[in-house]
Amino acid sequence: LSEALVASLKVAPEEFSVMYQPQYDLRSGAMVGMEALMRWRHPELGAVSPGEFVPLAEQRGLIHELTEQLVRCITRDLTRHDFGTHGNMRLAINISARQIADDRLEVLLEPFFTRLQLAGWCPELEITETHLMNLSPRCLDKLRDFGKRGVMVAIDDFGTGYSSLAYLHALPVHVLKIDRQFVQRLGPDSRDSRIVSAILGIADALELEVVAEGIETEAQKAKLQELNCHRGQGFLMARPTPLESLVRQATSG
């Protein structure tokens, strides 16, 4: 698999594509953003999940090349499907924390983000919690620079890592994404709502926005609305889809 990935990244970029999973304002129900999720379809191996190929790309030192494909796919999708200007629609991409130290990342993302902003989008960078805690001061400065130019920084899988509250306060982040394991334990009368409630309390104190991921049932969504969670994402509302179908959804209201 590893060899196939190396080869595909070098000579078969057309095997990569991106799906977009919408995020909704849980109060108004409006689509307010989307997360870009990479897909890889190999001619013999078929669809390989990013849960497999992202770690492989990291191990093989090819995560930058994967992000290049991500940027290329999104740029192409946005060129093909005019989304119009929807004012501050978020477009979240996932990056690996170790990429932040790599100077090629800014070179790749700067023009991409400028382009997104000119088209009326607000770029967002998702970084998993565990890795964010280990970033060097220089890397944190880089994130701060992204923030200064209008890029939102989100902590992905929040609640699964080991954030110290003191440190969280000092991080240049704007958004917490509650890991789906907490969301999936939410029910009409579940005790686990206390964890989500506590996360929302922390976010409120630190003036961070919250996105709940992995919403699969009406009961989970209702609970999150009751707890005043801001944004939500999950199979209940929409699965990751090609940009084209979201354009139709956004323009048809």
Which residues here bind ligand G, judged by CB under 6 A?
21, 37-38, 49-51, 54, 70, 94-96, 156-157, 180, 213-216, 233-235, 240
How does DSSP assign 68-109, residue by residue?
HHHHHHHHHHHHHS-----SSEEEEEE--GGGGG-THHHHHH
The identity of residue 107, as a single letter, is V
Q: Of the two residues 4 and 93, which places its CB atom closer to Mn ion in the complex?
A: 93
Which part of the chain contacts Mn ion (CB under 5 A), choosing from 8-16, 94-102, 141-149, 229-237? 94-102
Cα separation of 185 and 171, whole Å? Answer: 28
Cβ 33 to ligand G, closest distance in Å? 13
Instruction: Tell me the three-class secondary structure of 161-178, residue by residue.
Output: CCCCHHHHHHCCCCEEEE
Cβ 178 to ligand G, closest distance in Å? 10
129 contacts Mn ion (rule: CB under 5 A) = no
* Among Na ion, Mn ion, ligand G, none, partner that 95 touches (CB below 5 to 8 angstroms by kind): ligand G
Cβ 204 to Na ion, closest distance in Å? 21
156 contacts Mn ion (rule: CB under 5 A) = yes
* Among Na ion, ligand G, Mn ion, none, partner that 96 touches (CB below 5 to 8 angstroms by kind): ligand G
Structure-derived torsion over alpha carbons of residues 47, 21, 246, 174, reported in degrees to the nearest 10: -140
Q: Of the two residues 15 and 156, which places its CB atom closer to Na ion in the complex?
A: 156
Cα separation of 194 and 211, whole Å? Answer: 16
Q: Of the two residues 123 and 234, which places its CB atom closer to Na ion in the complex?
A: 234
Cβ 126 to ligand G, closest distance in Å? 6
Q: Of the two residues 45 and 205, which places its CB atom closer to ligand G in the complex?
A: 45
Kindly list the distances between the CA atom of residue 136 and the CA atoms of 45, 67, 140, 150, 231, in Å, as whole numbers in the listed order.
38, 21, 6, 22, 30
Cα separation of 3 and 171, whole Å? Answer: 37
* Among Mn ion, ligand G, Na ion, none, partner that 167 touches (CB below 5 to 8 angstroms by kind): none
Question: Which of the residues 156 through 175 are near Na ion (CB under 5 A)?
Answer: 156-157
Q: Of the two residues 238 and 247, which places its CB atom closer to ligand G in the complex?
A: 238
Q: Of the two residues 4 and 48, which places its CB atom closer to Mn ion in the complex?
A: 48
Kindly list the distances between the CA atom of residue 213 and the CA atoms of 36, 58, 105, 114, in Å, as whole numbers in the listed order.
14, 24, 26, 27
Kindly list the distances between the CA atom of residue 217 and the CA atoms of 22, 43, 184, 187, 238, in Å, as whole numbers in the listed order.
16, 35, 8, 9, 12
The identity of residue 197, as a single letter, is S
Question: Which of the residues 194 through 253 are near Na ion (CB under 5 A)?
Answer: none
Q: What is the binding site for Na ion (CB under 5 A)?
A: 156-157
Q: What is the binding site for Mn ion (CB under 5 A)?
A: 94, 126, 156
